[in-house]
A and B are shown apart, each in its own frame.
Chain A
């Protein structure tokens, strides 16, 4: 079997001591920031990107990927023990996880969350490996017209599945695309929108944008609320779930894994959406839905499996098509670019060690997480007692040093502060920053493919509609917008997000 050969190559890379070390660092850091509310994987990856310059590209990507799925494990710990989502994807875990903890079943909830996540992670890793080959083979046949349409579909899909106003989200994408093309145009050599500032002729760095929009503004918004964080210490008794609990949880884990795997691949999907969807499905399928919100173990098992599966399968579009579907994947694009790897279908053939090494490392990382997470819970709880007034200046410091060292210029620090301000303004206006980051990363690629497609068609714009694959992709994008614009579905979508 070809697949097994590839996976063997992958494990050969992932199991070298140095890559094991970086997987461990990544997953531990991911768990750490997952446990801590107020800092997410996007800001963390932005913070660590500059430090990966000296690493082998595969080690860098293994570490950064570990942060994302590690955060899924960590987020559940805080949700269950403190009733606070450490990560946005574990919002729903609070509902039943914390109730279980209050009944003295914190251990069972944590164990189910970890085991479910591990099962989901294992399945998702296999899925990533299995789907990647045919998908990237298909993507290699894509011309510029198909690529352009694919990006349109990816970007539209990403905002359709997110919550909030659709028009605002599309406007944020457009703004992101514009920010993405700041700097020297590769075709004409003209420096665009540089305002005569030489540093801007190289374009705006992805670290700068992400750290400002996701790191700084998050801290500022957190500081605006004056309420104090309460910490409830729960005694961990009886770590292991009972047989009856296993029986209830097992099917929920299976469903959550399947759902998360599918939703993870869709644009805009990933960990958060998967967990929300899984919770509502478990509630609908349950024999006794009234138990939900009072400590139903399915309400922990399903979403926690789903968010981990979703976190992992969201790598599929990135690795095979080069299209990031959420903000974390946009950061991964940034990381690949920094190491001179153009994300896309050619990565698998031109750089198989990197590709399969990364895939295999996901399973290795999951194994580390399930082994390490439960014994380390005591330490994570201790960390939660560190007050925010001590935590945020330290985060700011690491951000500032990180962003300074990308190019060793203070101009980047100023720019990041500017994007921090922008992030606060957008938050006040209820404009989500994630679509902007996606647009930002795709901006140059989108312009290039539009340019090439129209060059090949001698300026005829109908090329996007006459080539069948391109037409299909665009039709899907238009359909998505129309469907979501229908009042009925719109209402249901709002409700789905309200409920959770």
Chain B
């Protein structure tokens, strides 16, 4: 009976094998060509095979030698940090740098266990002024400051 004794290695192996298979499936629609005249599908397929082999070695080895358990995912920082950045990216063009900066700072601050709403609002306003000053006025980047400036 095989058992997973090194979960980190095992799951990274599985991930690499899966990515390797996906690579080969996706590149099957690109011309393979020959070694002398490589098509766009040649190099990716080599890499896909390599990924499967390396992932396979990792996963197999993980059933032999033991390792530490998987560390836990903490969802709050992950979701809040990435979410606030995605939100910023989605609205900055329509809402402008000023307001989307305040929104980004306040939402992102909520990822910390030391979240202080009022403090983060003040930081947001200050950083919005800084961002407008440095990026829009100083570096002349093509970004609207306010929603009505589109």
Q: Is A450 an interface residue (CB 8 A)?
A: yes
Tell me whether B47 and A393 are in contact (CB under 8 A): no
CB within 8 Å for A177 and B9 given contacts A389-B115, A413-B89: no
Sorted nearest first, the 9 A-B pairs with minimum C-beta distance are: A413-B89, A459-B36, A223-B77, A459-B35, A410-B89, A171-B54, A429-B12, A185-B40, A393-B108
Looking at chain B's contact residues, the main secondary structure is helix
Q: How far is the CB of B131 from chain A (nearest CB, A)?
A: 6
Partner of A451, one of B23, B38, B47, B143: B38
The answer to whether residues A388 and B58 also contact, given A174-B51, A454-B36 and a CB cut-off of 8 A, is no
A168 to B92, Cβ gap below 8 A? no
Known: A428-B73, A429-B11. 6 other contacts (CB 8 A): A174-B54, A223-B76, A405-B141, A413-B85, A420-B85, A455-B37
A side interface size, CB within 8 A: 64
Residues of A181-204 contacting chain B, CB below 8 A: 181, 185, 187-188, 190, 192-193
Question: Is the beta-carbon distance between A223 and B81 smaller than 8 angstroms?
Answer: yes
A165 proximal to B (CB < 8 A): yes
Question: CA A401 – CA B136 in complex, angstroms?
Answer: 10
Secondary structure class of chain A's binding surface, majority of residues: helix
Interface, chain A (partner B; CB < 8 A): 51, 54, 165, 167-168, 170-171, 174-175, 177-178, 181, 185, 187-188, 190, 192-193, 216, 219-220, 223-224, 226, 387-390, 392-394, 396-397, 399-401, 403-405, 408, 410, 412-414, 416-417, 420-421, 424-425, 428-431, 447, 450-451, 454-455, 457-461
Determine if B57 is an interface residue (Cβ-Cβ < 8 Å).
yes
Give the distance to chain B from A344, nearest Cβ to Cβ, in Å: 20
Interface centre among A403, A417, A459, A461 (most CB of B within 10 A): A417
**Are B40 and A188 in contact (CB-based, < 8 A)?**
yes
Which residues from 31 to 80 on chain B have a C-beta closer than 8 Å to any C-beta of chain A? 31, 34-40, 42-44, 47-48, 50-51, 54-55, 57-58, 61, 70-71, 73-74, 76-78
A40 to B12, CA, bound (A): 25
- Would you call A167 and B57 a contact (CB within 8 A)? yes
Beyond A174-B47, A175-B51, A461-B35, whether A417 also contacts B86 by CB under 8 A is yes
A414 with B44: CB separation less than 8 A: no
Find the residue from B82, B105, B111, B113 having the highest chain A CB count within 10 A: B82
Q: Which residues of B contact A (CB under 8 A)?
A: 8-9, 11-12, 15-16, 19, 23, 26-27, 30-31, 34-40, 42-44, 47-48, 50-51, 54-55, 57-58, 61, 70-71, 73-74, 76-78, 81-82, 84-86, 88-90, 92-93, 97, 101, 104-105, 108-109, 111-116, 119-120, 123-124, 127, 131, 135, 139-143
